[in-house]
Structure 1
Amino acid sequence: MVELHTIATLLSLNEADILKDMVSSFMASPQISGFLQAKPKFEQQIREQLQRWGRGLNSEVQHRPAPPELEAEFLLYQETLTLPAEQFRSHESRLLCQLAKTSAFHQEAISLLENLKEANPHLRKQLFLRKWRDTLVNRIMCIELEMAEQDRDRMLKELEKRMEITSEVEEALDMQDPGTLWDLSAATMLQGDSRRLRHYAKFLARNPELQRIAAELGRSARQESGATSQLQTIETTALQYEQRDRIPDDLVGIHQSNQLNRLLPSEAMLLANPELETIFYKHLAEQRLLNYHFMGQSRSPQRIQSERYVQGENQIPKGPFIVCIDTSGSMSGYPEETAKAFCFALLQIALNEGRGCIVQLFSTDVVSYELIGPEGLQEALNFLGCSFKGGTDLTPCFAQMLNRMQADEYANADAIVLSDFIAQRLPVEMLEQVRDIKEKGNRFNAVALSRHGKPALMKIFDAVWRFDTGLQGRLLRRLH
């Protein structure tokens, strides 16, 4: 089976030229141009999306099998191409019969052969094949453009959907990086999902203290740094003396040149003798006249590079967030809303700072959601839509979290546990694991959502923030 690309290549047809205008036309469509007027920062992402679509469509067009009738006509064209010009006339009857079965070129071929019957055999064959080739090229272009038009409507609908999702997510997440936001828009989002995003954005706006805790926790990684001594190359500018021939300070000798103002008298004497005048001009052209050689010193700025040790701070890279959320029955209601909103705030920080973010929901079992990645938005929507119920068991959650922190990609990770901390203490061997992980640079943080949490449970954490979700705590925040 012959592919369209094979025929197009042999006919010197470039599909990239065919598709170029179609890809460019997207940018001028009312839907996309209107979106870019409102949000110009996404222009680069949309252009890259269209280029990927163009390359994919080009590949699809290239590898699509040619229609059987086109393949048969092309093989006939190749066969005719190899015929000597003298045999072409005897081949005409069979050629026209075969063209009548498969080709729209048949009628034009009859007319062309009739008009060229008195022409030179070589020219007759050449002109016929050129017209035939143009017909084949036009047919391939029509097939490819038909495919592209079919895919264009699908692509435009996909872009419209992604632009709609981008607008909704940007409003809720308040992100700064358009690239990450455009990647997130590949998710499938229902109408209820957008309402859920806006709900938690408004919840954060009503609880600035919750946003403050998330911001402080995000800053804690940036404050970790270590003193370092680094060898750096320093570039300075200094005036240096240089010997230059053009500065006539001192007479240092005689040399060959063509400078008439420094000519020796003996050389000038050549001009006094007509027979020697030709030698003078020959030496002048060859720069072989004897000249006084002057030299002097000048000062010019020069860049000098030197190495020295510089004391500074080595910023420790920020690792991902591992957010562990208690989903026991005591966390349902307002504590559940608070935990989800807090995780929503951490998601904003992770997206803007390029950090990973894993959510582990624990009760008697552990369920994980990866909020940063190709399916990040879908995972976040699934997490925000789940409900809390069950018991409280910190041990399986900590076991999974500590296992993650053994991997290189979780170096310097921030672990955050959101719970009412009404639970059993961790086993001694697990407390020792936590201590060992801390020595590698990982941090353990707690956000206590109840005034009744066990203090002994929270001793293992580097930092503890309190956000009372009880009625008394909510009233106090409202009064302040």
Structure 2
Amino acid sequence: MLGIDALDIAVLLADTEMVEAALHDLMGRSQLMPMVEQNKKIKSLVRSQLNRWKKKASVKVKQAVQSEDLQSELSLYQEVIHWNERQFLSNIDDLMAKLEPISTFYLEANRLVNGNNARLNPMLPHFFCHQWYKCIIENVKQVQEETLEKEKQQQLDELYQRLEMLKQMDNLDTHQDTASIAGRLWDMTSVNLSKTDWSVMKSQADFLKKHPKLQEIAETLGRMAKQDPDPNEPLQYTQGIEFEEALSQQATDDIVGIHESNDLNKLLPNELLFLAYPELEVVFYKHLIDKRLMNYQMQGKVQSSRKVKAMEPHPAKAEEDTGPFIICVDASGSMRGFPEQCVKAMAFALMQIALAEDRECFVVLFSTDFVTYQLTKQDGLREASDFLSYTFHGGTDLEPAINAAIKKMQISEYQQADLVVLSDFIAPKQSKELIKQVDELKLKKNRFHAISLSKYGNPELMNIFDHHWAYMPNMTQRFIKQK
């Protein structure tokens, strides 16, 4: 064999030391970032992200050296090293022709072969293959390093982007602690938002601070699924311990009299006279055995416990009872101005609650037609920015929006949902078919809520809702809250 077997190169291609070193470098750089250093949850998210990157980077590095030219060169090398010296010298010109278009080793090979009397040197085949092998190894390493460096820089840029977006969310000064929703937000930071996008969300966060009643309503909606008892939930017996006090003669709280007994601790002093005379000692022991010694009678209260059974509702499984939020937002022209600000801020607050409670948040924006937004998917922040930037116009057609929400509720991922309609409810009443569908969904633990922003709403529209809030601060109150 003229050279080293190419299987050694295959081992090199699978070597993970280079990727491991890159991973440690990224870990070290990320730990210097202030947000990672201060927050254990974010540090854990970064570590998980980098471990996923390691697997992808390993695949990329292996794919990088699988170019057509390199694979052709490896095949040619593995063929040549199995020649003998005679075959090598007789096929050298043909070998050089094959090397020229596919290998960076060609120039070096041409110098070795065409040197002074090089072809007469019996060591030429072995030295040629050895140098060729070294060149292949260097090329493989260079391609791997370049690919890995590129992947590492991309990952570092992505980390900076994600952390910057988490910082921006923290700067919004929202009611939810960013650390508590960092896990959900991390998956939503793969998109890059502009300053305009952040200013739109910042304005909603500021509006919520000035109108805490809106935040209070949103939090009530978030808790409602956990607090409302289910009338259909079966009762079961639960066993507990009950404590009670009772009178006992063993307690030494008070002396209540004298009685005959055999308790030496409560013995009257005169009973000890029997022990003073040997001939009366037997009388003392006889009284002791017969429990006829005169004792102080004591009485007091002692606390005792006993097991009791009671009928209680079967414990609700909060995680199963809290489903997604489906928010229907009235975007008609009559909602322009202050009502528009209110409904956008409320939807923004519900999105934060959905993130904190690991719930989905789906928005149906309606007027004469409707559009939908998924605020908790991977590009949810982009969706939220687009929704908050939407300009309200057109008329009010509530039924198509509720029909769209009902279709969503029929999907398995959107069962036990909370439908929240934010509107002035200046619209015709619903059809009987719609009311029937709503009643059927209520039986499947779906909840329907209405938040009205006008005193001129149609009261007949409220019949389908389980809960109804009205938020209509007058102009004076608005002015005071905005100061």
Q: Do these two structures clear the TM 0.5 threshold for a shared fold by scoring above it? A: yes
State the alpha-carbon separation in 2 of the partners of residues 83 and 310 from structure 1: 87
- Do residues 348 (structure 1) and 352 (structure 2) align? yes
Check the 8 A contact 2:375/2:381 in 1, yes or no. yes
Check the 8 A contact 2:325/2:420 in 1, yes or no. yes
Aligned to 2:409: 405
State the alpha-carbon separation in 1 of the partners of residues 8 and 466 from structure 2: 67
State the Cα deviation string for residues 449-479 of structure 1 (Å, max 9, x = none): 1223232222321111121144255368789
Check the 8 A contact 1:334/1:469 in 2, yes or no. no
Give, in angstroms, the shift of residue 56 of structure 1: 2.9
State the Cα deviation string for residues 313-346 of structure 1 (Å, max 9, x = none): 1325211111111111121111111111111110
In the comparison of the two structures, how many residue pairs are matched? 391
Aligned to 1:264: none
Give, in angstroms, the shift of residue 390 of structure 1: 1.2
State the alpha-carbon separation in 2 of the partners of residues 65 and 312 from structure 1: 61
State the alpha-carbon separation in 2 of the partners of residues 133 and 82 from structure 1: 14
- Do residues 434 (structure 1) and 434 (structure 2) align? no
User: Cα–Cα, structure 1 residues 449 and 21, in superposed 2: closer, same or farther, change >3 Å?
Assistant: same
State the alpha-carbon separation in 1 of the partners of residues 109 and 35 from structure 2: 49
Check the 8 A contact 1:447/1:464 in 2, yes or no. yes
State the alpha-carbon separation in 1 of the partners of residues 153 and 463 from structure 2: 59
Give, in angstroms, the shift of residue 144 of structure 1: 1.5
Aligned pairs for 1:150-161 (under 5 A) are 150-161=150-161
Aligned to 2:55: 55
Tell me the SS of whatever aligns to 2:315.
Answer: strand
State the alpha-carbon separation in 2 of the partners of residues 29 and 58 from structure 1: 20
State the Cα deviation string for residues 212-254 of structure 1 (Å, max 9, x = none): 111111111112455557899xxxxxxxxxxxxxxxxxxxxxx
User: Cα–Cα, structure 1 residues 153 and 354, in superposed 2: closer, same or farther, change >3 Å?
Assistant: same
State the alpha-carbon separation in 2 of the partners of residues 153 and 322 from structure 1: 39
Amino acid in structure 2 at the alignment position of 1:376? G
State the alpha-carbon separation in 1 of the partners of residues 129 and 23 from structure 2: 32
* Sequence identity (%): 33
State the alpha-carbon separation in 1 of the partners of residues 35 and 135 from structure 2: 41
Aligned pairs for 1:296-445 (under 5 A) are 312-315=314-317, 316-445=320-449
Tell me the SS of whatever aligns to 1:29.
Answer: helix
User: Cα–Cα, structure 1 residues 454 and 58, in superposed 2: closer, same or farther, change >3 Å?
Assistant: same
Amino acid in structure 2 at the alignment position of 1:49? Q
Aligned to 1:236: none
Tell me the SS of whatever aligns to 1:313.
Answer: coil
Aligned to 1:458: 462
* More displaced stretch, 23-32 vs 352-361: 23-32
Aligned to 2:263: none
User: Cα–Cα, structure 1 residues 141 and 312, in superposed 2: closer, same or farther, change >3 Å?
Assistant: same
Check the 8 A contact 1:19/1:54 in 2, yes or no. yes
Aligned pairs for 1:14-413 (under 5 A) are 14-29=14-29, 33-64=33-64, 70-84=70-84, 87=86, 90=89, 101=100, 102=103, 103=105, 106=109, 132-172=132-172, 173=174, 174-175=177-178, 176-226=180-230, 227-228=233-234, 312-315=314-317, 316-413=320-417
Tell me the SS of whatever aligns to 1:388.
Answer: coil
Amino acid in structure 2 at the alignment position of 1:13? L
Give, in angstroms, the shift of residue 93 of structure 1: 5.7
State the alpha-carbon separation in 2 of the partners of residues 209 and 61 from structure 1: 55
State the Cα deviation string for residues 259-315 of structure 1 (Å, max 9, x = none): xxxxxxxxxxxxxxxxxxxxxxxxxxxxxxxxxxxxxxxxxxxxxxxxxx9974132
Tell me the SS of whatever aligns to 1:314.
Answer: coil
User: Cα–Cα, structure 1 residues 331 and 100, in superposed 2: closer, same or farther, change >3 Å?
Assistant: closer
Check the 8 A contact 1:448/1:467 in 2, yes or no. yes
- TM-score normalised according to structure 2 size: 0.70
Q: Where do 4+ consecutive residues of structure 1 move more than 6 Å? A: 107-111, 124-128, 229-232, 476-479
Check the 8 A contact 1:446/1:458 in 2, yes or no. yes
Check the 8 A contact 2:409/2:417 in 1, yes or no. yes
User: Cα–Cα, structure 1 residues 92 and 401, in superposed 2: closer, same or farther, change >3 Å?
Assistant: closer
State the alpha-carbon separation in 2 of the partners of residues 440 and 215 from structure 1: 23
**Structure 1 portions without partners, runs of 5+:** 1-5, 233-308
State the alpha-carbon separation in 2 of the partners of residues 27 and 12 from structure 1: 24
User: Cα–Cα, structure 1 residues 141 and 472, in superposed 2: closer, same or farther, change >3 Å?
Assistant: same
State the Cα deviation string for residues 397-447 of structure 1 (Å, max 9, x = none): 122122222222221111111111222111222222222221221111111
**Structure 2 portions without partners, runs of 5+:** 1-5, 239-310
State the alpha-carbon separation in 2 of the partners of residues 376 and 458 from structure 1: 31
State the Cα deviation string for residues 123-160 of structure 1 (Å, max 9, x = none): x9888756643442222011121222234333333332
User: Cα–Cα, structure 1 residues 355 and 394, in superposed 2: closer, same or farther, change >3 Å?
Assistant: same
RMSD: 3.7
User: Cα–Cα, structure 1 residues 69 and 329, in superposed 2: closer, same or farther, change >3 Å?
Assistant: closer
Give, in angstroms, the shift of residue 359 of structure 1: 0.9
Check the 8 A contact 1:331/1:388 in 2, yes or no. yes
State the alpha-carbon separation in 2 of the partners of residues 164 and 224 from structure 1: 39
Tell me the SS of whatever aligns to 1:186.
Answer: coil
Tell me the SS of whatever aligns to 1:148.
Answer: helix
Check the 8 A contact 1:420/1:449 in 2, yes or no. yes
Aligned to 1:448: 452
